[in-house]
Amino acid sequence: MNVAQRPELIAGQLAPRSDTSVVAATMAQASAPPHVVAAPVGTTPVSPVPGGPVPRGPAPGGVPPRPAPPDHTGPASALAAAVQEATRAHRAADAGAGPAGELADAGIRLLAPDGTLVPDPRFDVLADHDLRQAFYRSMVLARRLDAEATALQRQGELVLWIPLRGQEAAQVGSAQAAGARDFIFPSYREHAVAWHRGVPAGEVLRLLRGISHDGWDPAAHNMANYTIVLASQTLHAVGYGMGVLLDGDVGTGDPERDTAVLVYLGDGAMSQGDANEAFVWAASFGAPVVFLCQNNQWAISTPARRQSPVHLARRADGFGFPGLRVDGNDVLAMHAVTSWALAHARGGGGPVLIEANTYRMAPHTTSDDATRYQPANELAAWAARDPIERLRRMLAADVDAGWFDEIDELAAQTAAELRRDCLALDPPPPASMLDHVYAEETAQERDQRTWFTAYRDSFL
């Protein structure tokens, strides 16, 4: 329907509701009988043009009285007041929204920023010293590779890069908790998850070098490729989890058989319809899915506090499954809580939501200028909670200083290999973009390929 052909829609729907003159005129028109145009009281409607349309005016008898204002003391008002009060209570319980609140209420924590262990009777602190060192190694490598990839993008070797700086603990701790049978669905920032999972460093760059629609073989690592479309991977994960259920690979008690799904999403994705639909489906069918939300406080330039007046973990209450808020800069807590959640899912307990309270210490992507909106004092406050530094402080009590130097040297070597591998990633033949569109090439596709090849050859 063309709105221009229905001026009453413009008056009735598009005009500001506070414009009482427009509303009154619309009401007057609505009250007039068909083809009888209202005129001011005591006058006869006349067209200024012979035979033309008659101008509209107020309804016969004048403008109807305005309806009585709504009763603000009724049940609806009481409900609104109760909702406001509940929201205030939630805010208070969550130690307030915004960076100050996020810092004050870190969530479940086993390792303090000063490197000391924090007893929590609900979770065992990881006693495996070798694994603690492996965490440190993976986090340092991830940070170094992330910096190298950022430099490669600045030098024109990558189309885009999506930095992970600051989120190393959230990714490495959770990735370690996933077993070989578990399947991981990342968003697009989970480079440390992929590297810790064994994906070769260079393969993570393939998509963002613009030479491939994907990155690695998902079946080789039980880890799907990146999903750029926000939150769509949550639905993929629930679908996979429902398949695991149908296969009977949940709750058997056999560690070689029971399987869970670990899916990553960001704080911005929590506002997407796909994520909330995924929560409903996972809860309804008891799918063995752990939703791991890395709340890095920013959805590009929108602060997380604007998207939710309460901690994101609390959202799980409404869907009927557990929600846990964790210090996302504490690799020990991330590992402990994700291990519990995955075991819960594998055992048939259904989905779990984990909110990793962390911070994005870099722009959203290399196309973003975070200095335009990210307060410097906020960055400094979160830098004091750096995930790598706190683990280093703890390890320093037992590990020689030379070991840290070895890790730094390894990181530098790995970064050099990443650069070499990146530069060796040659673009595929352009016409290959037509491969695999259909199982069998159609005549139309063949014509397109022939035309495209001839077109490109015309430049040579």
Query: Helix (H, G, I), strand (E, B), or coil: what is residue 75?
Result: helix
Nearest approach in angstroms of CB 369 to Mg ion is 16
Q: Which is nearer to Mg ion, 105 or 417 (CB)?
A: 105
Across 296-441, where does the E strand assignment appear? 298-299, 302-303, 323-327, 352-357
Which residue of 102, 267, 378, 386 would you call a contact of Mg ion, by CB under 5 A? 267
Helix axis angle, 129-154 to 168-177, nearest 10°: 130
Query: Helix (H, G, I), strand (E, B), or coil: what is residue 265?
Result: strand
Q: Which is nearer to Mg ion, 233 or 296 (CB)?
A: 296
Nearest approach in angstroms of CB 298 to Mg ion is 5
Q: Which is nearer to Mg ion, 164 or 415 (CB)?
A: 164
Nearest approach in angstroms of CB 317 to Mg ion is 21
Q: Which is nearer to Mg ion, 37 or 310 (CB)?
A: 310
Query: Helix (H, G, I), strand (E, B), or coil: what is residue 185?
Result: strand
What is the DSSP pairing of strand 289-295 with strand 352-357? Answer: parallel
Torsion angles phi and psi, residue 111, rounded to 5: -130, 115
Q: Are 180 and 220 in contact (CB under 8 A)?
A: no
Q: Which is nearer to Mg ion, 176 or 296 (CB)?
A: 296
Q: Which is nearer to Mg ion, 150 or 296 (CB)?
A: 296
Three-state helix/strand/coil letters over 76-117: HHHHHHHHHHHHHHHHHHCCCCCHHHHHHCCCECCECCCCCE
Element (H, E) at 10: none
Q: Which is nearer to Mg ion, 203 or 378 (CB)?
A: 378
Nearest approach in angstroms of CB 387 to Mg ion is 16
Q: Are 163 and 419 in contact (CB under 8 A)?
A: no
Helix, strand and coil content of the chain, in percent to the nearest 5, comes to 50, 10, 45
Which residue of 166, 266, 286, 303 would you call a contact of Mg ion, by CB under 5 A? 266
Nearest approach in angstroms of CB 167 to Mg ion is 9
**Spatial distance between the Cα atoms of 299 and 280, rounded to a whole number of angstroms:** 23
Binding map of Mg ion across residues 272-311, x = CB under 5 A, - = no contact: ------------------------x--x------------
Nearest approach in angstroms of CB 171 to Mg ion is 13
Nearest approach in angstroms of CB 195 to Mg ion is 20
Nearest approach in angstroms of CB 363 to Mg ion is 12
Q: Which is nearer to Mg ion, 175 or 299 (CB)?
A: 299
The yes or no reply on residue 163 touching Mg ion (CB under 5 A) is no
Nearest approach in angstroms of CB 392 to Mg ion is 26
Which span (203-211, 260-268, 349-357, 368-376) binds Mg ion, by CB under 5 A? 260-268
Q: Which residue's Cβ has the minimum distance to Mg ion?
A: 266
For the segment 185-204, give every residue that binds Mg ion (CB under 5 A): none
Binding map of Mg ion across residues 49-68, x = CB under 5 A, - = no contact: --------------------
What residues does 265 pair with on adjacent strands?
293
- String of DSSP letters for 331-369: HHHHHHHHHHHHHHHHTT---EEEEEE----S-SSTT--
Nearest approach in angstroms of CB 295 to Mg ion is 7
For Mg ion (CB under 5 A), the number of binding residues is 4
**Spatial distance between the Cα atoms of 259 and 409, rounded to a whole number of angstroms:** 37
For the segment 344-363, give every residue that binds Mg ion (CB under 5 A): none
Which span (100-108, 192-200, 261-269, 365-373) binds Mg ion, by CB under 5 A? 261-269
* Sequence-separated contacts (24+) of 22-30 with Cβ below 8 Å: 24/58, 24/63, 24/64, 24/66, 25/56, 25/58, 27/59, 27/63, 27/64, 28/56, 28/57, 28/58, 28/59, 28/63, 28/64, 29/56, 29/59
Q: Which is nearer to Mg ion, 252 or 308 (CB)?
A: 308
Which residues form the interface with Mg ion (CB under 5 A)?
Answer: 266-267, 296, 299
